[in-house]
Structure 1
Amino acid sequence: MANWVFNLSFIAAVGTGMVAGVLFAFSAFVMKALSRISAVYGVSAMQSINIVVQNPLCSLLFFGTGLISLTLIVMALLGWGDYEAGYLFAGGLSYVFALLVTGAFNVPLNNKLASVKLDTQGISQVWDRFYAKWIVWNHVRTAACVVSSVFFILAMLEQI
């Protein structure tokens, strides 16, 4: 494939690796830290995080990497006989899967949490249910991003 495919593979590997790092941080310590404080503070902190994360830089990282991943899926299909095509396809598909998990599970959970009033009766139960579901899906999308990054690196190695 062309040199620009190598460059896109590199950008995709870095992008998916960065997203994996952000998501890993949440799985490894951010959510654990929030679970150690009272539910009111955990909900409040998560509500604030979910507002702050909606910014152009995060959008560029998440969705720009998604656009590059989709482009590489198409390139893989067009050049299926090339050595790196399977890696490009798998890397792109894995990242698109991570975005789909985000949209289907994590974002709706975040939106539901956004409507929770801090003086809600039973806020501890609300927080516990949110945490249990959200963290599982975060683990899934983190793993998908790591897998994606590995496949893009393998595609680059095939292009050298």
Structure 2
Amino acid sequence: MTAYDVLVAGAAVATGLAGGVLYAFSAFVMAGLRRLTPEDGGAAMRAINRDALRPPLMVLLLAAVGLPVAGAVVGLVTSAPGAVWAVTGAVVAVVGILGVTGFGNVPLNERLEAAEDPGAEWQRFVGPWLRWNHVRTVAGAVASLSFVVAV
């Protein structure tokens, strides 16, 4: 087994796990929060967002971007079979997971955190946040599949 194989396998697992965590939010966490009053939903999401900044999620998101990029670079440098798929997976992970998180979800989270009326902000927050999260979820799945094909 080569370094490329290890990196690509790790990238498949990391992007799949990240997509799974994000899917959980789209599929049932946010649905549960939407059943709460706007005030309680906003307060709960603020608490979740604070906890999300801890190592369990941050390490996973770093791995879901770092391993794909490393695998793509090694694949290109060594002309590994499947390197095109590794590059595809890396681009999808960087743009669809990292980029969407940084430019879509995080600004919404920050706006919710800073809101003087979290309940009112929550009502404006949920739709856009979920749409961006669906993109991140699909990106995690597509990136993971790309790395599986790359192997």
Same fold (TM over 0.5): yes
Tell me how far 1:74 sits from its aligned partner.
1.7
Pick the structure with greater CA Rg: 1
The normalised TM-score by structure 2 is: 0.93
Q: Which string of whole-angstrom CA distances, capped at 9 and with x for unpartnered residues, describes residues 19-56 of structure 1?
A: 01100000001111111110010000000000011112
- The DSSP-based 3-state class of the residue aligned with 1:45 is helix
Corresponding residue of 2:4: 5
Aligned partner (choices 128, 131, 136) of residue 141 of structure 1:
136
* Structure 1 contact 70–92 (Cα < 8 Å) conserved: yes
1:154 aligns with 2:146: no
Structure 1 distance, partners of 2:52, 2:119, is 23
Structure 2 distance, partners of 1:24, 1:92, is 19
* Structure 2 contact 40–119 (Cα < 8 Å) conserved: no
Q: How many residues align?
A: 150
Equivalent residue letter for 1:29: F
Tell me how far 1:129 sits from its aligned partner.
1.4
The normalised TM-score by structure 1 is: 0.88
Could you tell me which runs of 5 or more consecutive residues in structure 2 were left unpaired when the two chains were aligned.
Answer: none
User: What aligned pairs does 1:18-97 form with structure 2 within 5 A after superposition?
Assistant: 18-80=17-79, 82-97=80-95
Cα RMSD after superposing both structures: 1.5
Tell me how far 1:147 sits from its aligned partner.
0.1
Structure 2 distance, partners of 1:64, 1:144, is 15
Could you tell me which runs of 5 or more consecutive residues in structure 1 were left unpaired when the two chains were aligned.
Answer: none
Structure 2 distance, partners of 1:49, 1:15, is 21
Equivalent residue letter for 2:93: Y
Structure 2 distance, partners of 1:38, 1:132, is 15
Structure 1 distance, partners of 2:70, 2:20, is 23
Corresponding residue of 2:14: 15
Give the structure with the higher percent helix: 2
Corresponding residue of 2:119: 123
